[in-house]
């Protein structure tokens, strides 16, 4: 049984917003509590409980889930999400936890890049092992940076330019100029800006000019 947006759980204490994700045994939903605060509802996948291979272990699965939830509810630490409630819904054990918004870890770790004295950039996909070579600079590439959302790559070169590349395609989408050969580039944390330093000690900052096509 999938819970749909608007469905009430635990009386009317939680209202489902959407499904967040699922794993081999568990499934999570984004919900709001009565105060309008976002919470994560975690429960067991009903498909697992109904799988003939798991039916003999249903009671143990439910017991272990509740035990994990109750133990987690006792933990108090800044680096551990807090459990707000443990309850049953549709004969499924559930825990309601605080929701902490974050970034997609896959985007952060999937791609790595490096610049070279042969004027090229190497872009690695660390999951597949695939390596792409990006060309376009006319001098050594001294610095590279990947935006926080994982969509853009910036490269700074001795040819006095900073080039922006779309990572998914390897296509150059923008070229910015500096006063001298570029030694360092860095995106702002929000991904809306870029800073670059050159060989003469100058720093340029661009904001709201970074385009992803």
Lowest pLDDT segment from 73-87, 92-106, 129-143, 199-213? 199-213
Given this model, what pLDDT does residue 213 score? 37
Hey, where are the domains in the chain? Answer: 8-98, 105-207
What predicted TM-score, i.e. pTM, was given to this entire model? 0.55
**CA torsion, ordered 81, 100, 191, 126, to nearest 10 deg:** 60
pLDDT score of 207 more than 60: yes
126 or 115: which leads in pLDDT: 115
Identify the architecture of domain 105-207 in CATH: 7 Propeller (2.130)
Which pLDDT score is estimated for 212?
43
Rounded Cα–Cα distance for residues 89 and 21 (Å): 18
38-82 pLDDT, tens per residue? 999 999 998 888 888 888 889 999 999 999 999 999 998 888 899
Give 169-198 pLDDT, tens digit per residue. Answer: 999 999 999 999 999 999 988 778 899 999
For residue 119, what is the DSSP state? S
**Residue 107 clears pLDDT 50, i.e. is over it:** yes
Residue 210 has pLDDT above 60, yes or no: no
pLDDT higher than threshold 80 for residue 103: no
Q: Residues 37, 15: contact at Cβ < 8 Å?
A: no
Query: Residue 34: is its pLDDT beyond 80?
Result: yes
- For residue 3, the 8-state DSSP code is P
**pLDDT range class, residue 148, cuts 50, 70, 90:** confident
**The predicted structure's pLDDT at residue 102:** 75
What share of the chain has pLDDT > 90, as a percent?
Answer: 69
Look at residue 4 and tell me whether its pLDDT is greater than 90: yes
Query: Do 150 and 110 touch, CB atoms closer than 8 A?
Result: yes
Q: What is the C-alpha separation between 47 and 69, in angstroms, rounded?
A: 20
pLDDT at 78: 86
CATH number for the region 8-98 comes to: 3.30.200.20
**Residue 124 contacts by C-beta under 8 Å, 6 or more apart in sequence?**
111, 112, 113, 114, 130, 131
């Amino acid at each position: 049984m999938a819970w749909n947006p608007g469905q009430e759980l635990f009386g009317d204490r939680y209202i489902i917003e959407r499904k967040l994700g699922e794993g081999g045994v568990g499934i999570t939903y984004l919900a709001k509590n009565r105060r309008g605060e976002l919470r994560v509802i975690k429960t067991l996948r009903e498909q697992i409980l109904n799988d003939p291979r798991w039916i003999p272990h249903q009671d143990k699965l439910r017991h272990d889930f509740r035990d994990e939830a109750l133990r987690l509810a006792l933990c108090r630490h800044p680096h551990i999400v807090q459990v707000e409630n443990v309850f049953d819904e549709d004969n499924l054990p559930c825990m309601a936890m605080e929701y902490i918004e974050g970034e997609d870890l896959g985007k952060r770790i999937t791609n790595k890049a490096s610049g070279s004295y042969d004027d090229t950039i190497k872009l690695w996909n660390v999951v597949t092992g695939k390596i792409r070579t990006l060309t376009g600079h006319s001098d050594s590439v001294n610095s590279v940076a990947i935006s926080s959302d994982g969509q853009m790559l910036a490269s700074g070169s001795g040819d006095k330019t900073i080039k922006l590349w779309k990572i998914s395609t390897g296509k150059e989408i923008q070229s910015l100029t500096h006063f001298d050969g570029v030694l360092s580039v860095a995106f702002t944390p929000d991904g809306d800006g870029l800073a670059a330093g050159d060989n003469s000690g100058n720093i340029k900052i661009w904001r709201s000019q970074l385009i992803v096509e």
